[in-house]
Amino acid sequence: MELPDTIIKKQLPAHIMARASRGIAYISHPLRLRILEWLDVNGTSSVSAIARGVGTEQMIVSQHLRKMRDANLVRTTRHGIFIYYEINEEYPASIFVCLRKLFGHMTDQLKFLRDDYREILPSDYTTMAANRIKLFAHIDKMRILEYLMQHGKDCVCNIAAGVALPQIKVSQYLKKLSDDDFVTSYRAGRFVYYSATPGVHQTAIGCIHKRFEQTGEEF
Protein backbone atom coordinates (compact mmCIF):
# COMPACT_ATOMS: atom_id res chain seq x y z
CA MET A 1 0.00 0.00 0.00
CA GLU A 2 1.46 3.35 -1.02
CA LEU A 3 1.62 6.23 1.43
CA PRO A 4 -0.89 8.96 0.56
CA ASP A 5 0.10 12.52 -0.26
CA THR A 6 -1.54 15.21 1.83
CA ILE A 7 -3.09 18.02 -0.18
CA ILE A 8 -3.71 21.40 1.44
CA LYS A 9 -5.77 24.22 -0.04
CA LYS A 10 -3.73 27.20 1.04
CA GLN A 11 -0.85 28.22 3.25
CA LEU A 12 -1.49 29.26 6.82
CA PRO A 13 -0.51 32.74 8.03
CA ALA A 14 3.19 32.89 8.86
CA HIS A 15 2.66 33.62 12.57
CA ILE A 16 0.45 30.55 12.94
CA MET A 17 2.97 28.29 11.25
CA ALA A 18 5.70 29.81 13.44
CA ARG A 19 3.80 28.85 16.58
CA ALA A 20 3.04 25.43 15.13
CA SER A 21 6.71 24.82 14.36
CA ARG A 22 7.62 25.56 17.99
CA GLY A 23 5.02 23.06 19.20
CA ILE A 24 6.18 20.44 16.72
CA ALA A 25 9.79 20.99 17.75
CA TYR A 26 8.89 20.51 21.41
CA ILE A 27 7.33 17.09 20.86
CA SER A 28 10.19 15.91 18.63
CA HIS A 29 11.57 13.93 21.55
CA PRO A 30 10.87 10.19 21.62
CA LEU A 31 9.93 10.05 25.30
CA ARG A 32 7.71 13.14 25.20
CA LEU A 33 5.91 11.78 22.18
CA ARG A 34 5.41 8.42 23.89
CA ILE A 35 4.11 10.11 27.06
CA LEU A 36 1.61 12.12 25.06
CA GLU A 37 0.61 8.99 23.15
CA TRP A 38 0.01 7.15 26.45
CA LEU A 39 -2.26 9.98 27.63
CA ASP A 40 -4.08 10.04 24.29
CA VAL A 41 -4.84 6.30 24.50
CA ASN A 42 -5.42 5.92 28.25
CA GLY A 43 -6.72 9.33 29.27
CA THR A 44 -5.99 11.03 32.59
CA SER A 45 -3.18 9.17 34.38
CA SER A 46 -0.83 9.46 37.31
CA VAL A 47 2.92 9.76 36.93
CA SER A 48 3.43 6.22 38.17
CA ALA A 49 0.96 4.80 35.63
CA ILE A 50 2.58 6.74 32.79
CA ALA A 51 6.05 5.63 33.88
CA ARG A 52 4.97 1.99 33.87
CA GLY A 53 3.26 2.46 30.52
CA VAL A 54 6.28 3.94 28.77
CA GLY A 55 8.82 1.83 30.66
CA THR A 56 10.83 4.72 32.06
CA GLU A 57 11.83 5.79 35.56
CA GLN A 58 9.19 7.87 37.31
CA MET A 59 11.62 10.71 38.06
CA ILE A 60 12.50 11.10 34.37
CA VAL A 61 8.82 11.03 33.36
CA SER A 62 8.04 13.66 36.01
CA GLN A 63 10.73 15.95 34.61
CA HIS A 64 9.32 15.73 31.10
CA LEU A 65 5.74 16.15 32.31
CA ARG A 66 6.75 19.30 34.18
CA LYS A 67 8.32 20.73 31.02
CA MET A 68 5.27 19.79 28.94
CA ARG A 69 2.98 21.38 31.50
CA ASP A 70 5.01 24.59 31.30
CA ALA A 71 4.60 24.43 27.51
CA ASN A 72 0.80 23.91 27.86
CA LEU A 73 0.96 20.48 26.25
CA VAL A 74 -0.48 18.80 29.35
CA ARG A 75 -2.50 19.97 32.34
CA THR A 76 -2.88 18.63 35.86
CA THR A 77 -5.66 17.95 38.35
CA ARG A 78 -5.19 17.01 42.00
CA HIS A 79 -7.18 14.32 43.80
CA GLY A 80 -6.08 14.22 47.41
CA ILE A 81 -2.34 13.70 47.49
CA PHE A 82 -2.20 12.50 43.89
CA ILE A 83 -1.65 14.58 40.75
CA TYR A 84 -3.06 13.40 37.44
CA TYR A 85 -2.05 14.48 33.95
CA GLU A 86 -4.02 14.77 30.74
CA ILE A 87 -3.45 16.25 27.30
CA ASN A 88 -4.27 19.93 27.28
CA GLU A 89 -7.30 20.73 25.16
CA GLU A 90 -5.12 23.15 23.19
CA TYR A 91 -2.95 20.27 22.06
CA PRO A 92 -4.25 18.65 18.86
CA ALA A 93 -4.49 14.99 19.80
CA SER A 94 -5.32 14.41 16.13
CA ILE A 95 -1.55 14.17 15.57
CA PHE A 96 -1.78 10.61 16.89
CA VAL A 97 -4.72 9.82 14.62
CA CYS A 98 -2.51 10.90 11.73
CA LEU A 99 0.52 8.96 12.98
CA ARG A 100 -1.59 5.81 13.38
CA LYS A 101 -2.96 6.20 9.87
CA LEU A 102 0.56 6.60 8.53
CA PHE A 103 1.58 3.45 10.41
CA GLY A 104 -1.46 1.65 8.99
CA HIS A 105 -0.50 2.60 5.44
CA MET A 106 3.11 1.54 6.04
CA THR A 107 2.15 -1.85 7.48
CA ASP A 108 -1.16 -2.55 5.68
CA GLN A 109 -2.90 -2.80 9.07
CA LEU A 110 -6.33 -1.42 8.21
CA LYS A 111 -7.46 -1.02 11.83
CA PHE A 112 -5.09 1.92 12.22
CA LEU A 113 -6.80 3.78 9.39
CA ARG A 114 -9.96 4.37 11.45
CA ASP A 115 -10.27 7.78 13.11
CA ASP A 116 -11.68 6.24 16.29
CA TYR A 117 -9.07 3.50 16.70
CA ARG A 118 -6.53 3.98 19.49
CA GLU A 119 -3.64 1.70 20.27
CA ILE A 120 -0.10 2.30 21.48
CA LEU A 121 2.19 2.15 18.49
CA PRO A 122 5.47 0.19 18.55
CA SER A 123 8.10 2.19 20.42
CA ASP A 124 10.58 1.95 17.54
CA TYR A 125 8.01 3.56 15.22
CA THR A 126 7.30 6.34 17.73
CA THR A 127 11.03 6.93 18.16
CA MET A 128 11.47 7.06 14.38
CA ALA A 129 8.59 9.52 14.08
CA ALA A 130 10.02 11.79 16.80
CA ASN A 131 13.49 11.76 15.25
CA ARG A 132 12.09 12.49 11.80
CA ILE A 133 9.98 15.34 13.21
CA LYS A 134 13.11 16.85 14.74
CA LEU A 135 14.69 17.13 11.28
CA PHE A 136 11.95 19.33 9.78
CA ALA A 137 10.62 21.11 12.90
CA HIS A 138 11.77 24.55 11.76
CA ILE A 139 9.53 27.39 10.62
CA ASP A 140 11.20 27.92 7.24
CA LYS A 141 11.47 24.22 6.43
CA MET A 142 7.82 23.70 7.35
CA ARG A 143 6.68 26.63 5.22
CA ILE A 144 8.60 25.24 2.24
CA LEU A 145 7.04 21.80 2.75
CA GLU A 146 3.62 23.41 3.19
CA TYR A 147 4.06 25.29 -0.10
CA LEU A 148 4.99 22.08 -1.93
CA MET A 149 2.03 20.26 -0.40
CA GLN A 150 -0.21 22.95 -1.84
CA HIS A 151 1.38 23.30 -5.28
CA GLY A 152 2.59 19.75 -5.85
CA LYS A 153 5.91 20.70 -7.43
CA ASP A 154 7.74 23.91 -8.24
CA CYS A 155 11.11 25.51 -8.86
CA VAL A 156 13.24 27.36 -6.34
CA CYS A 157 12.36 30.85 -7.56
CA ASN A 158 8.62 30.25 -7.22
CA ILE A 159 9.01 28.56 -3.84
CA ALA A 160 11.08 31.49 -2.58
CA ALA A 161 8.42 33.95 -3.73
CA GLY A 162 5.67 31.83 -2.21
CA VAL A 163 7.24 31.64 1.24
CA ALA A 164 8.80 35.13 1.15
CA LEU A 165 12.37 33.97 1.73
CA PRO A 166 15.60 34.73 -0.15
CA GLN A 167 16.19 32.25 -2.96
CA ILE A 168 19.64 31.29 -1.67
CA LYS A 169 18.19 30.39 1.73
CA VAL A 170 15.40 28.35 0.12
CA SER A 171 18.02 26.47 -1.90
CA GLN A 172 19.93 25.67 1.29
CA TYR A 173 16.82 24.39 3.05
CA LEU A 174 15.80 22.34 0.02
CA LYS A 175 19.24 20.72 0.04
CA LYS A 176 18.78 19.71 3.69
CA LEU A 177 15.21 18.55 3.09
CA SER A 178 16.41 16.50 0.13
CA ASP A 179 19.25 14.95 2.14
CA ASP A 180 16.68 13.87 4.75
CA ASP A 181 14.30 12.50 2.07
CA PHE A 182 11.54 15.04 2.75
CA VAL A 183 11.62 16.31 -0.84
CA THR A 184 12.58 14.90 -4.19
CA SER A 185 13.68 16.75 -7.31
CA TYR A 186 14.13 16.43 -11.04
CA ARG A 187 15.61 18.66 -13.74
CA ALA A 188 13.62 19.96 -16.70
CA GLY A 189 15.86 22.07 -18.95
CA ARG A 190 17.59 24.67 -16.81
CA PHE A 191 15.10 24.39 -13.98
CA VAL A 192 15.06 21.97 -11.05
CA TYR A 193 11.61 21.12 -9.70
CA TYR A 194 10.96 19.98 -6.15
CA SER A 195 8.07 18.08 -4.59
CA ALA A 196 7.35 16.80 -1.09
CA THR A 197 7.66 13.08 -0.45
CA PRO A 198 4.97 11.28 1.60
CA GLY A 199 5.72 10.67 5.27
CA VAL A 200 5.47 12.00 8.80
CA HIS A 201 6.33 15.54 7.64
CA GLN A 202 3.20 15.68 5.48
CA THR A 203 1.27 14.04 8.31
CA ALA A 204 2.30 16.68 10.84
CA ILE A 205 1.64 19.65 8.57
CA GLY A 206 -1.68 18.14 7.52
CA CYS A 207 -2.69 17.86 11.18
CA ILE A 208 -1.81 21.50 11.79
CA HIS A 209 -4.06 22.51 8.90
CA LYS A 210 -6.86 20.25 10.07
CA ARG A 211 -6.68 21.78 13.53
CA PHE A 212 -6.79 25.33 12.19
CA GLU A 213 -9.58 24.62 9.69
CA GLN A 214 -11.76 23.01 12.37
CA THR A 215 -11.21 25.48 15.20
CA GLY A 216 -9.43 28.52 13.85
CA GLU A 217 -6.88 28.03 16.63
CA GLU A 218 -3.15 27.89 16.53
CA PHE A 219 -1.31 24.65 17.12
SS3 state of residue 168: helix
pLDDT tens across 120-146, in order?
999 999 999 999 999 999 999 999 999
**What is the average pLDDT value for the chain, to the nearest integer?**
89
Q: Please state the φ and ψ torsions of residue 43, each to the nearest 5 degrees.
A: 80, -165
pLDDT of 90 higher than 70? no
pLDDT tens across 156-185, in order?
999 999 999 999 999 999 999 999 999 999
Angular region, 172: left φ>0, alpha ψ -120 to 50, beta rest: alpha
Strand partners, 155: 193
pLDDT at residue 186, rounded to an integer: 94
Q: What is the average per-residue pLDDT within 82-93?
A: 75
pLDDT tens across 33-44, in order?
999 999 999 999
pLDDT at residue 89, rounded to an integer: 56
Percentage of the chain lying above the pLDDT 90 cut: 59
The Cα–Cα gap between 27 and 131 comes to: 10
Sheet holding 154-155, edge to edge: 154-155, 191-196, 183-188
pLDDT tens across 190-212, in order?
999 999 998 888 888 888 887 77
pLDDT of 26 higher than 90? no
Q: Which long-range contacts (CB under 8 A, 24 or more apart) does 110-114 make?
A: none
- Cβ burial of 208 (10 Å; 0-12, 13-18, 19+) is buried
Cα-based angle 144, 30, 141 (whole degrees, multiple of 5)? 10
The Cα–Cα gap between 6 and 165 comes to: 23
Model confidence band, residue 215 (pLDDT cutoffs 50, 70, 90): low
